[in-house]
Amino acid sequence: MGEGAFVTRSEQLRALSDEHSAHNYHPLPIVIAEADGAWVTDVDGRRYLDMLAAYSAVNFGHRNPRLTAAAQRQLGRVTLVSRAFDHDQFGPFVAELAELCGKDMVLPMNSGAEAVETALKTARKWGYEVKGVPAESAEIITFDGNFHGRTTTIVSFSTDPDARGSYGPFTPGFRVVPYGDADALRAAITPNTVGVLVEPIQGEAGVVVPPSGFLTAVRELCTEHNVLMMADEIQSGLGRAGTTFAVEEEGVVPDLYILGKALGGGIMPVSAVVADSDVLGVFKPGQHGSTFGGNPLACAIAREVIAMLKTGEFQERSRELGAHMHARLAKMPSDRVREVRGRGLWAGIELNGPARPVSERLMGLGVLAKETHETTIRLAPPLTISREDLDWALDQFEAALKD
């Protein structure tokens, strides 16, 4: 390495990433070395407030002491046995998660995409074996602007050209209708429809909240036509929107919850599908699975996450700090900000121009946020953020808009 070729440790490490990592992301130019609560520190010792929280996977803050303690206890006992054997964290984990969701069965996986795949398989299997749909003809309805993960089947019903481009041929059996449009959903349902897959609030689309009454209409249509309502709460759930699940806003109970991200406490990937036994009971041994799904370390961490959610304190923080954040965002200069969406400590800010320069200026001011699509900034700080830190971040946001 030539002398003086790199100015900082950060630049040196970024050059390594640039050269040897596939360029499937466009990260901000920062190299994080440590994190604590809502704050991260880069390799050159600069501190930044994290206003993204790993897309809501770090809802409880970086290295939350309750969660790292649970992980450390489990690291000293047993970490992985595979589902070939039972272990002492498994039964309590599935029982506690089922109870949190008001359901009676859990199917644990790892990543969010795997949980979505599990939900799709569940709906098809249920459709053929319970509803009685003719073989190979099950249909699942999804919504435009959706984000449910990156597998070839999931991108088959994406409407984002970047997510789909050059990945065909695609998996058949999906219909896409406009998000928030209950009439379009009604028109798309056929006797072969087995499931409706919906984000109660669309995260990656830029925190898009559907019109009031939409989720209720989805629930009613699913009930009327004997179709499974599958709520992808991977990003919207577990406190982010001010309630344990975003569907609670309308008092809606889906047939199936899809969970991930914050379920792993920001420590490891943990995901799950949660439903009643008349739905998840369709699986028999050998018909679905995962080597790492439901492992002891994952279960121990997720059990602590569930215990923390049961106190209600994180949902309450999300509601209170979220109301404060949205009140301040509503007063941001209207020549720069076109629209602010969201609920709880979660906002999609639609700018009048490109968002990337704003997230770069924010970084320069010590705040980490990320654009989604061209003109949207998403704010989703850890739910543990202090009011003072939140206010400071919003001051910086206002400054970054003006530059």
- Summarize as ranges the residues that interact with ligand PLP (CB under 6 A): 55, 111-113, 116, 147-149, 199, 203-204, 232, 234-235, 260-261
CB nearer to ligand PLP: pick between 198 and 340: 198
What residue type is 220 in one-letter code?
A: E
**125 is a catalytic site residue:** no
Number of residue whose CB is nearest ligand PLP: 112
What residue type is 30 in one-letter code?
A: I
CB nearer to ligand PLP: pick between 113 and 221: 113
Residue 116 and residue 114: Cα distance in Å, rounded? 5
Residue 140 and residue 172: Cα distance in Å, rounded? 10
What is the smallest separation between the CB atom of 37 and ligand PLP, expressed in angstroms?
22
For residues 346 and 379, the answer to whether their CB atoms sit within 8 Å is yes
Q: In what order do the strands lie in the sheet with 367-368?
A: 32-36, 39-42, 47-50, 367-368
What is the smallest separation between the CB atom of 205 and ligand PLP, expressed in angstroms?
9
Q: Which one-letter DSSP state was computed for residue 103?
A: -
CB nearer to ligand PLP: pick between 10 and 156: 156
What sign does the dihedral 322-326-332-336 (CA atoms) show? positive
What is the smallest separation between the CB atom of 271 and ligand PLP, expressed in angstroms?
7
The encoded tokens of residue 5 equal 């070729």
CB nearer to ligand PLP: pick between 116 and 280: 116
**147 is a catalytic site residue:** yes
Tell me if the bond preceding 169 is cis, omega within 30° of 0: yes
- Of 290, 288, 274, 319, the closest CA to residue 111 belongs to 290
262 φ/ψ angles, rounded to the nearest 5 degrees: -65, -15
Q: ∠274-383-66 over CA atoms, to 5°?
A: 75
Angle formed by the axes of helices 296-310 and 313-329, to 10°?
70
- Of 355, 347, 353, 354, the closest CA to residue 379 belongs to 347
| Residues in Cβ contact with 115 at an 8 Å cutoff, skipping those fewer than 6 apart | 109, 234, 258, 259, 260, 271, 272, 273
CB nearer to ligand PLP: pick between 261 and 343: 261
Coil, helix or strand at residue 197: strand
What is the smallest separation between the CB atom of 154 and ligand PLP, expressed in angstroms?
8
What is the smallest separation between the CB atom of 325 and ligand PLP, expressed in angstroms?
20
CB nearer to ligand PLP: pick between 39 and 174: 174
Entry field: residues in the chain = 403
Element (H, E) at 271: strand 271-275
The encoded tokens of residue 92 equal 């309590």
Angle formed by the axes of helices 90-101 and 296-310, to 10°?
30
**255 is a catalytic site residue:** no
Among residues 42, 50, 232, 389, which one is catalytic?
232
What is the smallest separation between the CB atom of 335 and ligand PLP, expressed in angstroms?
31
CB nearer to ligand PLP: pick between 267 and 394: 267
Among residues 147, 157, 245, 292, which one is catalytic?
147
What is the smallest separation between the CB atom of 113 and ligand PLP, expressed in angstroms?
3
The residues annotated with a catalytic role in the active site are: 147, 232, 261
